[in-house]
Structure 1
Amino acid sequence: MTFAKQIVSKWKRRLKAFVIRVKAALFYRNRSLSNHPTNGDETHYQGKIASFSKALPHDSLGEVNVDAYEQYIHILECGEPKDYENLPLAGKRKMVDPQAAYAFEMVGPDSHQLTTPPPAPLASAEMAAEMVEVYWQALTRDIPFDDYDTHPLTIEAAKELSSLEDFRGPKTRDQVTPQTLFRGHLPGTLEGPYVSQFLWKDVPYVATQITQRYRTTTPGIDYLTTYEDWLAIQNGGLPCDPEYDSIPRYIRNGRDLGEYVHHDITVEDGVTACLILLSYGDAAWDKTNPYLDSTTQIGFPTFGAPHVLDFVTKAARPGLEAAWFQKWLVHRRLRPEEVGGRVHNQLLGYADYPLHQDLLCSEAVQRTFDEYGTYLLPQAYPEGSPTHPAYPAGHATFIGAMVTMLKAFFDESFVIPDPVLASSDGRSLVRYEGPDLTVGGELNKLAANIAIGRDAAGVHYRSDGINGLKLGEQVAIGILRDYKETYHEKFNGFSLTTFDGDTIII
């Protein structure tokens, strides 16, 4: 090739790279401006009783100082970095990264262009049902998932949830059953064991295998069940240290799952699942992979292991940024422990809140009082929830984004080989005997486990997770779409099944 042709070739390459970037930028610039409806609670209640206020100063009822709340909102909405040092905190706990709500990304949609439906209002039957569910999850933390069919408490939980006016979890013939209890309703999540195979099976890691037995906390020990402890934590007090089980366990109950999602930061869940899937070889790759039929090439930087590992990890942080925008600048939904304080003070006659009778008259709430002497929601973590608003759940958005990436690269119909089941004591795995478990179903189950595991700990509601998963899915789809034009291979697009069960091609 002559020198002149080399120059032309380089300029063509540079121009093509420029055009790809500009087309992606124009796609997002030309989208309609997004509306972000809220449930109206923040403006409706002058005392801000239905809004997240943890770590700000509160009175003896746990109601936020309104002047401090207004100062906090002013800082959030103005968005001046220097002003965040003036957040009116009451104690030593700090707010978790509110400025992430303003971050930009260089690939995929801007977080401010993505939307979520508003969460249920405080006074609604849906909110009551979500709270009743998390009370039951607290009461049943130590019951092995495998015993749900026979344990009196889980049978009672299913019965009460079935009776509620607006419970939106999965049902069988319009009834919550022990088999559907505390599960997700994504495709495949009701098949087989409660826990995804991706949280049980050994993980191939470099030149070794990682056994998925994890540290968990001591059975029967819950937190923030005394009013003094609860109020101190609302005012930003520092927690005590948790008590740990001396034996690492396979995840076998709500307490174990809640403790697992206490320590995963972001990408671990997606990377673990990806490494397991890669160990299954070519048969597990999605049929759209352009190298499956090649007799001379295999994928590596593109359509190989580095590609999918990169994309799984690439999606997690933008998923969190999308959640943080919704949390801090749109919804500011209060955490379940804050609602538990409202329930406690109302039932003891200290205050009058617009809480639905399904919650105030709940068997789960009464059982909680009988066991702990308060109506507060028992927490699995000494610190209770993190110091950022509830909706949508951050864990749900990052796992939703990562699972969507995995579904784009792997064959969702591939049957998981040699499936396993944790023993009731969590010390061993046994062979699972039952209907086939597929990659798509077990990835959806992984997403549900990570999202609902936070509910089991008492720090989120069901809708935080469900809508967080869908928000993360939007992020991943946007990233996949932007990269679609960057490949040299003949490639017809990524195919995957959404959390709503629709098959799409990107």
Structure 2
Amino acid sequence: MGPISAKDRRKKAYHLRKKTAKIYKELARVHHQCNGDEFNFRNKIGSFSKALPHNSLGEVDLKAYKTYSKALKSSNPDDFEAIPLGGVVKLANPQASFVYDLIGADCHQLSLPSPPVFSSSWEASEMVELFWRALTRDIHFGEYATHRSTREASKELSSLSDFRGPKVKGNVTTRTLFRGDTPGDLVGPYVSQFLYKDIPFGATTLPQRYRSTCKGSDYMTSYEEWLNIQNGGTFAEPNFDSTPRYIRNGRDLGEYVHYDFSYQGPLSACLILNQFGRDALCPNNPYINSASQGGFITFGAPHILDLIAKVTRVALEAAWFHKFLVHRRLRPEEFGGRVHNHLTNATNYPIHEELLHSKAIAKVFKKYGTYLLPMSYPEGCPTHPAYPAGHACIAGAGVTVLKAYFNEEFVIPNPVSASMDGLKLVPYSGTSLTIGGELNKLASNISLGRDMAGVHWRTDGVEGMRLGEAVAIEVLKDYRKTYNEKFTGFTLTKFDGTVITIK
């Protein structure tokens, strides 16, 4: 049964795949550019090296780094097994940098701009922001406008020569502090509605109250602890709060992105969106005005739920390529060790003066007696390079798919925010919150929430979201060609505000 024979069906399916593959084969070659830190510093102080052996300054053993580099250049699995480690913690899947996939663009095809260089004012500004994030983790988002520390943070970030976070009339304000720069990021509560609303989960409902750690639970503030963690040593157990709470501050958000599974945020958002009904669907959905059919396998819940999972894995593949084979950017905790050793005169590094004279650094030293970056996680960052952030790539890809399937202009009903103690949700009555804006904010929360914990830089998140978005767009292009329905294409608003249609 059907309009064509089985033989013709196989032939058509083959040519569909062949034509798609040919499109990617004929794309212009991409020249990937790193920031040069690995070549500029013989001692590799600007490159990721956690889990390898280090000297007393936290500088990597150069023989070990050479073995590590050899494996990345050869892709030989045996070379990876020869990499010497400094402790018990292993590297996080560097061979994923070489994986192939059968949907979307090849993970080596999509480009990223170079991240800030080690000694730049841009890098310094991102590190100053991270110190302020650490100092303000326990402040409720609703108190940012009045709290002394968040006001000081806004003032200092405004004074920096190259801070690139969101501003109002050229200044960082308590309204823009620690937020993303996509449409919707600065509207309403700091936390997206998709991290507050109850999640319909089959025959049950999941309230979004999550386990967090206790106030003041910061780690790696002593030099011995820091050096042990850089060498891949064992670490302390987290000091958990016994009461689950709605996300109310930076510590709670950092813990959410500590234990979430890969595409938990976009998946939860999809389940919430599915309950909003027909008006929340993208107007391009071919079944909205159908008199006899509803979407299911195509343009229904199984379709979108499956696609979210698909794109997030492909996004991670692109992230891992850039992490290990192009940039190898050091993590903020590693940079914190450089700052500490420089300011204690243990050695001399080319760190920008704006960071060295930061009020945030002075406050950290007064509180902890070191210049290290206080971390939310006892183990510190994962054992893969910083740029781009994997969480950000996942969030960018998942959110892009959701914007393609749902109506970005739909106003979310009954918006809420977290109470001061995080034990309940309270009504929010400000500017209307739309699906598009809150999906953008969700992506920023997930990506920049990792900054709250100290494990990523701002550019890791911002550019990671864009890379994830690019991955998802390529996947949507592939799937656009597979449908039987009368479909005008996927229309969505990118993170930069540009509206596109994938036809």
Q: Give the TM-score category using the shorter length.
A: over 0.9
Aligned to 1:192: 188
How far apart, CA to CA, are the structure 1 residues paired with 2:164 and 2:384? 25
Aligned pairs (5 A) from 1:29-48: 29-48=25-44
Shift of 1:463: 0.2
- Aligned counterpart in structure 2 of residue 434 of structure 1, from 421, 425, 430: 430
Instruction: Trace 1:404-483 onto structure 2 (pairs within 5 A).
Output: 404-483=400-479
Deviations along 1:206-255, one digit per CA (max 9) or x if unpaired, are: 01110000000011110000000000001110111001001100000000
Deviation, 1:94, is: 0.2
CA distance in 1, matches of 2:444, 2:419: 21
**For each residue in 1:285-333, what CA deviation from the matched residue of structure 2 results, as whole angstroms up to 9, or x when unmatched?**
0000000011111100001111111111111111111000000000000
Residue in structure 2 matched with residue 262 of structure 1 by the alignment: 258
State the AA in 1 paired with 2:94.
Answer: P
Mapped partners of 1:435, 1:90: distance in 2: 52
Aligned twin of 1:201: 197
Could you state the TM-score of these two structures normalised by the residue count of structure 1? 0.98
SS at match of 1:216: coil
Q: Is the 8 A contact 2:70 2:79 kept in 1?
A: no
Secondary structure, aligned partner of 1:273: helix
**Contact preservation (8 Å) 2:328, 2:385:** yes
Task: Give the paired residue count.
Answer: 502
Deviation at 1:265, TM superposition (A): 2.0
Matching residue of 1:22: 18
User: Which of the residues 304, 309, 313 maps onto 1:313?
Assistant: 309
In the alignment, residue 202 of structure 1 is paired with which amino acid? D
Q: C-alpha separation between the residues in 2 aligned to 1:402 and 1:100?
A: 20
Instruction: Measure the CA separation in 2 of the matches of 1:387 and 1:427.
Output: 34
CA shift, 1:268, in A, is 1.1
Give the counterpart letter for 1:324 in structure 2.
W
> Counterpart of 1:141 in structure 2: which amino acid?
R
Residue of structure 1 aligned with 2:289, choices 274, 286, 293: 293
Partner of 1:179: 175
| Corresponding position: 1:247 with 2:247 | no
Instruction: Compute the displacement of 1:432 (Å).
Output: 0.4
Query: Aligned residue for 2:491?
Result: 495
Give the letter aligned to residue 415 of structure 1. V
CA distance in 1, matches of 2:79, 2:62: 18
What's 1:82 paired with?
78
Residue 233 of structure 1 corresponds to which residue in structure 2? 229
One-letter amino acid of the counterpart of residue 249, structure 1: R
Letter in 2 for 1:358: E
Shift of 1:424: 1.3
Separation in 1, partners of 2:468, 2:293: 33
Displacement of 1:359 in angstroms is 0.5
The DSSP-based 3-state class of the residue aligned with 2:200 is strand
Deviation at 1:347, TM superposition (A): 0.7
SS at match of 1:441: helix
1:307-456 alignment, distance < 5 Å: 307-456=303-452
Deviation at 1:334, TM superposition (A): 0.2
User: 1:228 and 1:81 mapped to 2: Cα distance?
Assistant: 33
Q: Which residue of 2 aligns with 1:274?
A: 270
**Percent identity of equivalent pairs:** 58
186, 200, 213: which one aligns with 2:209:
213
Amino acid at match of 1:373: G
1:359 and 1:12 map into 2 onto residues whose CA distance is 66
Aligned AA (2:222):
T
Shift of 1:66: 1.1
TM-score, with normalisation over the residues of structure 2?
0.99
**SS of the residue 1:486 aligns to:** coil
Structure 2 partner of 1:70: 66
- Provide the rounded CA distance (Å) in 2 between the counterparts of 1:207 and 1:56: 47
Select between 151-160 and 263-272 the one with higher mean Cα deviation. 263-272
Q: Distance in 2 between matches of 1:47 and 1:312?
A: 41
In structure 2, runs of 5+ residues without a counterpart are none
Root-mean-square deviation (CA), in Å?
A: 0.9
> Which of 37, 51, 54 is the matching residue for 2:50?
54
Q: Secondary structure at the match of 1:496?
A: strand
Whether 2:503 is the aligned partner of 1:504: answer no
Q: Write out per-residue CA displacement over residues 183-211 of structure 1, whole angstroms, 9 at most, x where no aligned residue.
A: 00001110000000000010111011100
Decide whether the 8 Å contact of 2:417 with 2:428 is kept in 1: yes
Q: Partner of 2:247: helix, strand, or coil?
A: coil
- Taking the aligned partners of 2:439 and 2:83, their CA distance within structure 1 comes to 40
Q: 8 Å contact 2:417–2:425 — kept in the other structure?
A: yes
Give CA deviations for 1:379-399 in whole Å, capped at 9, x if unaligned. Answer: 000000000000000000011
Mind listing any 5+ residue stretches in structure 1 that lack a counterpart? none
- Residue 486 of structure 1 aligns with which residue? 482
**Corresponding position of 2:130:** 134
Q: Which residue, 66, 90, 93 being the options, matches 2:89? A: 93
